[in-house]
Amino acid sequence: MDYPSQIADLVKKATEYDDFNAQRELGLMYDFGNGIVQKDYKEAFYWYRKGAMSDPECSWRLAYFYHHGQGTEQDEQSALYWYRYSLDHYRKISKEAEDYVRYAVAELENKLNEKYNQLSVKAQAGDARSQYLLAMMYVRHVIVPLDFSKIRYWMTKAADGGDMYAQNWLAEAYGLNMYGFERADDKRFHYARCAALQGHTEGAYQLALCYQNGVGVGENDGEAFRWMKIAADKGYEMAMSSVGQYFKDGKGTATNYDSAVRYLKLYCQRDKVYPHGYEHYLIGYCYYYGGYGLKKDAVEALKWLTLAATPGKTDGIEEAVALLGDAYLTGTGVAKNTAKAVEYLEKAAKGFFGSCFAAYKMAYLHFKGLYVEKNYAEASKYIRLADKLYKNNNPELRSQIDLLKKQLSKKGY
């Protein structure tokens, strides 16, 4: 979301420094509107959730939003959890707020206990949806204690009875060793497939991952792409990113940079939880090289690559910095600046994740004596680094690395 310039400092504190005072203030601004921003419950919910662990007022207001389905889907169990959480810090909220929270806790406890009793009766009678919801009450342990044996019993009954939500939950549980479930690839694939075939969005994503990684089934890029796209087209954010990467790399489908950019931009617009440094880099990459259905656009490329290289992003930084270095080296979209190019390429090659492309470029520059001192030893060091960083996703780069290795070998390096 684009925020008004008047609150830029507040947003910076709330995001970069995780300042709960700023998070609370932003939540209140969007909750009630204050002239600078319009009332926006979804945005208020976002900031209350960010600050809920550290700030009692954020926690009880978050509970209120869950309780009344304000800015999010109604979730009474989450509401009860956060109301209780805020009471653990009740001295830091007003007496009026404390009275309201205690009333809400009593009301929700009565309501959820009644719901538990009703679900128990229906679950015993064989209703699959009730079995799933009952299992989830044990998972969330707001009303009843956490009980792995009851979770396993009711969740399996629900899944085998045809409930797609239980099937999806079990697929994840068997994949991640959750709640006492030991990893079982065959069961993960089975339940993911059952959920996906019934139209469960996350189930489609999980099934795609199974085909992508050969979990419980042979690797199959075509099936992985098909199910990933189904999940993406239904709005699943992580699938949007993966589909964009599939289109970029021509994996499981024909290479199409235009489609890649469309799905990657959708992900960047939709997801507010995960950093998208890598997705920004991929968009910049597509614009930088162009083709495959997308017009080359150096200005757009540099915009996205600069975003990807911004401190705080966790993935793709080095690759983005490497392309920025190449842009300065060739004068693509910016004035040619060889000193800056070498600085960027060296930084990208030696970064935490490391850029194979940047390492190769530095090796080549040292080998040729272009903009740096000709130095075969340095060239050899960088080409070995490039070899180590190569990830089998760019045959052209692979051949360039191999050629330079042969040339260095002839020089005795």
pLDDT greater than 80 at residue 47: yes
Would you say residue 327 lies in a domain? yes
38 within a domain of the structure (yes/no): yes
CA distance 348 to 386: 11
pLDDT of residue 68: 97
- Does residue 245 lie in a domain region? no
User: Diameter of the chain by CA atoms?
Assistant: 82
- Kind plus residue range of the DSSP H or E element containing 54: none
| Structural domain of 324 | 291-413
Interatomic CA distance for residues 397 and 386, integer angstroms: 10
Last residue of a domain, one of 45, 70, 93: 93
Mean pLDDT, residues 292-297: 97
In a domain, 108, yes or no: no
Q: Could you report the per-residue pLDDT of 213-244, keeping only the tens digit for each?
A: 999 999 999 999 999 999 999 999 999 999 99
| Sign (positive or negative) of CA dihedral 394, 399, 400, 406 | positive
Q: CA 194, CA 396: separation in Å to the nearest integer?
A: 40
Mind listing the pLDDT tens digit for each residue in 57-69? 999 999 999 999 9
Task: Give the mean pLDDT of 37-66.
Answer: 96
Q: Which residues pair with 291 in a beta bridge?
A: 294
Backbone phi, then psi, for 75, in 5-degree steps?
A: -150, 95
pLDDT above 90 covers a percentage of the chain that reads: 86
Round to whole Å and give the CA distance between 51 and 48: 5
Query: What CATH number is given to the structural domain containing 87?
Result: 1.25.40.10
Higher pLDDT, 307 or 117: 117
pLDDT of residue 3: 79
User: Where among 60, 76, 93 does a domain terminate?
Assistant: 93
**Which CB contacts under 8 angstroms, 24+ apart, belong to 228-237?**
228/204, 230/196, 230/204, 231/201, 231/202, 231/204, 231/205, 232/263, 232/266, 234/201, 234/204, 235/201, 235/270, 236/201, 236/202, 236/204, 236/205, 237/267, 237/270, 237/271
Does residue 282 lie within any of the structural domains?
A: no
The pLDDT of residue 213? 97
Q: Is the pLDDT of residue 259 over 60?
A: yes
Domain end among 67, 93, 119: 93
Whether residue 118 is contained in a domain is answered as: no
pLDDT digits (tens, 9 = 90+) for 322-335: 999 999 999 999 99
Q: Which range among 15-24, 155-164, 209-218, 267-276 shows the weakest confidence by mean pLDDT?
A: 267-276
Q: Is the pLDDT of residue 56 over 80?
A: yes
Which of 396, 356, 361, 392 minimizes the C-alpha distance to 379?
Answer: 361
**pLDDT bracket for residue 274 (50, 70, 90):** low
Instruction: Determine, yes or no, domain membership for 278.
Output: no
Task: Decide if 406 is inside a domain.
Answer: yes
Instruction: From 4, 9, 46, select the one nearest 24 (Cα to Cα).
Output: 46
Lowest mean pLDDT segment, chosen from 91-95, 214-218, 368-372, 387-391 = 91-95
Supply the pTM of this predicted model. Answer: 0.86
Q: How much is the average pLDDT of 166-178?
A: 96
Domain holding 350: CATH number? 1.25.40
pLDDT at 113 over 70: yes
| Structural domains counted in the chain | 2
Phi, psi (5° rounding) for residue 316?
Answer: 80, -5
